[in-house]
Amino acid sequence: MLVKEEKILQTYFGYESFRPGQKETIDHIIQMNNTLAVMPTGGGKSLCYQIPGLSLDGTAIIISPLISLMKDQVDALNSLGIPATYINSSLTPAEQQSRLREVAANQYKFVYVAPERFESMRFVNVIKNISIALVAFDEAHCISQWGHDFRPSYRSIVPNLKKLPNIPVYVALTATATDEVISDIQELLQINHDHVVNTGFERENLSFHIVKGKDKPSYIRSFLEEHQDESGIIYTATRKQADALYDQLTKRGVSVSKYHAGLSENERKEAQSAFIHDEKSVMIATNAFGMGIDKSNVRYVIHYAMPMNIESYYQEAGRAGRDGEPSDCILLFSPQDVQLQKFLIEQSFMDDPSKHNEYRKLQAMINYCHTHGCLTSFVLDYFDDSTAKESCGRCSNCMERQEKMDITEEAQMILSCVKRMGERFGVGMTAKVLKGSRDKKIKDFRLNSISTYGILSAYTEKELTEWIHFLIAEQLLSIEEGKFPTLRLNQNSVDVLKGIRPVEMYTAPIPTSDDADYH
Ligand code: ADP
């Protein structure tokens, strides 16, 4: 099976063997089955349509929303001696016409276009009259209204494409797809269940780390000293943070680039180019940087502050290690990060239901920073990836696991305190009551008169705060998301209180140098 395709892999692309999922995907396609491939970033999705495109007669049309990546893809194919081109709005009308004539003359094996191209009758007429090998939808989650990056123009071309008589097979490729998105794509492109190849999202070369309680600038300085020859991105939560870190590092003679929306287009272009071409190895940026950037040798992505949700985190962290080599994704957490993200949500122009949704996603991000379970599994579970294992063996939680400590009794005290406080307060107040704090607010609410006041006074407020967050992350305690989130008991809490569910915690390092508080 696939002798010809294996040969193409070796002779054209110079690779020994297929990566997981590639062979099945290619097999389905060359047997003319519409196929969906869900593979992580860097998993090798391009080859899944490029090899059948070379193997089958005719031209392969690749539809992609990322205009900025088309040229790179085409250049890569051209450098392998494969005739490929792209037609998009970055070309002059004359260039577009001339390329279209060449497409009509069957001069290309691969043609990359944006969805909008199908609004041009000229283009559609050319496509109608040539021999087509396949039509591939890259970033196929953009087709689905359930996807996080829905593009209506992407979806609307499907009925028109289906009217064309000469499209033998459709291929959809994506790195992010929940069950909803998968079935939506299947329905739209008529993809049979047997022809969905889902390798899961796990990026086995990425190791996730949470770092707490460290002075962030000095952590970054020593990290950069140890990783001088490696390329990496440091994401900050705001432009101000990016500017400050950039200034601090350049003052110390570290060579770094900076990218955020407050810079001029020229400055951004220069910074991006210096980073992509390895003239500067470190990029300090806000989330404005990265979309459509395909740099394969990024060895680490550090988040200087916690981002607002897991979707953004995984996408940004996932820019590390696209070449498949081991790479690190490090999140520097401090409690102030939570306040900053809440502030950003409050400041936004979203309506209340949308804000609530953002708070819900933010809470999942906070939980990620407090779980003692495997970080990789946490993320995969969040995306409903059923291929998730219990532990990856690479993340900081898997690596730093020491002894398990039974904290059932302390957990019961915390939970009963939440109950006695009427389930009306947040993490900070609960920690204060458990500690027996003399804070004025405690007196104002008469919380110093309840029986659990000071019941865990042997611990610091910081430790108690950490434990409460741990209970939330492990779903042993609920939190009503919002500007002032309140703690609530759930069924798991009741089980803990009844003594039918033990609570164990790994003896993870507790933050020490950071004395901010949660609210
Ligand atoms: P994706 O689109 O899934 O993010 P790419 O198609 O860009 O990933 O592939 C990522 C990298 O892996 C590329 O450098 C590609 O050449 C390489 N690659 C793909 N398939 C294989 C393979 N079978 N063996 C070795 N390298 C591969």
Do 202 and 378 contact (CB within 8 A), yes or no?
no
pLDDT, position 135:
97
What span, in angstroms and rounded, lies between the C-alpha atoms of 302 and 294? 17
Lowest-confidence segment of 13-22, 139-148, 490-499, 504-513 by average pLDDT: 504-513
Q: CA quadruple 380, 384, 387, 388: dihedral positive or negative?
A: positive
Do 117 and 107 contact (CB within 8 A), yes or no?
no
pLDDT, position 512:
39
Q: Is the CB of 44 under 6 A from ligand 1?
A: yes
| Cα–Cα nearest to 67, from 91, 84, 83, 46 | 91
* Alpha carbon nearest to ligand 1 atom 24, residue: 15
Averaged pLDDT, 437-447: 93
| Cα–Cα nearest to 330, from 220, 201, 176, 203 | 220
* Alpha carbon nearest to ligand 1 atom 26, residue: 15
Q: Is the CB of 23 under 6 A from ligand 1?
A: no
Which tens digit of pLDDT belongs to each residue from 79-120? Answer: 999 999 999 999 999 999 999 999 999 999 999 999 999 989
Q: What is the ipTM of this complex?
A: 0.98
| Cα–Cα nearest to 294, from 278, 276, 280, 281 | 276
What span, in angstroms and rounded, lies between the C-alpha atoms of 426 and 487? 5
Q: Is the CB of 25 under 6 A from ligand 1?
A: no
Which tens digit of pLDDT belongs to each residue from 124-179? Answer: 999 999 999 999 999 998 898 777 678 888 888 998 899 999 999 999 999 876 78
Q: Is the CB of 45 under 6 A from ligand 1?
A: yes
Supply the mean pLDDT for the chain: 91
What span, in angstroms and rounded, lies between the C-alpha atoms of 472 and 503? 12
Which tens digit of pLDDT belongs to each residue from 8-48? Answer: 999 999 998 999 899 999 999 999 999 999 998 778 999 99
pLDDT, position 516:
40
pLDDT, position 292:
65
Torsion angle, CA of 234/400/309/268, rounded to 10 degrees? 10
- What's the CA-to-centroid distance between 380 and ligand 1, angstroms? 21
- What's the CA-to-centroid distance between 88 and ligand 1, angstroms? 24
- What's the CA-to-centroid distance between 407 and ligand 1, angstroms? 46
Averaged pLDDT, 301-322: 93
What span, in angstroms and rounded, lies between the C-alpha atoms of 74 and 295? 16
What span, in angstroms and rounded, lies between the C-alpha atoms of 19 and 45? 10
Report whether pLDDT(394) > 90: yes
What span, in angstroms and rounded, lies between the C-alpha atoms of 94 and 100? 10
User: Relative to the CA of 9, which ligand 1 atom is closest?
Assistant: 23
> What backbone phi and psi angles, to 5 degrees, belong to 332?
-90, 110
- What's the CA-to-centroid distance between 45 and ligand 1, angstroms? 7
User: Relative to the CA of 13, which ligand 1 atom is closest?
Assistant: 16
Averaged pLDDT, 275-279: 92
> Could you tell me which residues are beta bridge partners of residue 110?
60, 84
Six-digit token string for 222:
């020593």
Q: Which residues contact 322 (CB under 8 A, 6 or more apart)?
A: 41, 42, 294, 295, 296, 298
| Probe target for ligand 1 pocket from 25, 47, 70, with the most ligand atoms within 8 Å of CB | 47
Report whether pLDDT(511) > 70: no
Report whether pLDDT(471) > 90: yes
Q: Is the CB of 42 under 6 A from ligand 1?
A: yes
Six-digit token string for 178:
């929940």
Averaged pLDDT, 63-90: 91
136 vs 295, higher pLDDT? 136
What span, in angstroms and rounded, lies between the C-alpha atoms of 86 and 73? 9
pLDDT, position 404:
79
> Could you tell me which residues are beta bridge partners of residue 479?
487
| Probe target for ligand 1 pocket from 13, 24, 66, with the most ligand atoms within 8 Å of CB | 13
Q: Which runs of E-coded beta strand occur in 128-192?
A: 132-137, 170-174
What span, in angstroms and rounded, lies between the C-alpha atoms of 287 and 304? 12
Do 410 and 435 contact (CB within 8 A), yes or no?
no
**Amino acid letter for position 46:** S
Number of neighbouring beta carbons within 10 Å of residue 239? 16
Q: Which residue has the tokens 């006695």?
A: 420
Which tens digit of pLDDT belongs to each residue from 227-274? Answer: 998 999 999 999 999 999 999 999 988 889 999 999 999 999 999 999
Strand order in the sheet with 327-333: 206-212, 327-333, 298-303, 231-235, 282-285, 256-259
Six-digit token string for 432:
């204060």
* pLDDT cut 70: percent of the chain above it: 96
User: Relative to the CA of 17, which ligand 1 atom is closest?
Assistant: 23
Report whether pLDDT(220) > 60: yes
User: Relative to the CA of 175, which ligand 1 atom is closest?
Assistant: 3
pLDDT, position 510:
40
pLDDT, position 1:
62
199 vs 62, higher pLDDT? 62
User: Relative to the CA of 294, which ligand 1 atom is closest?
Assistant: 7
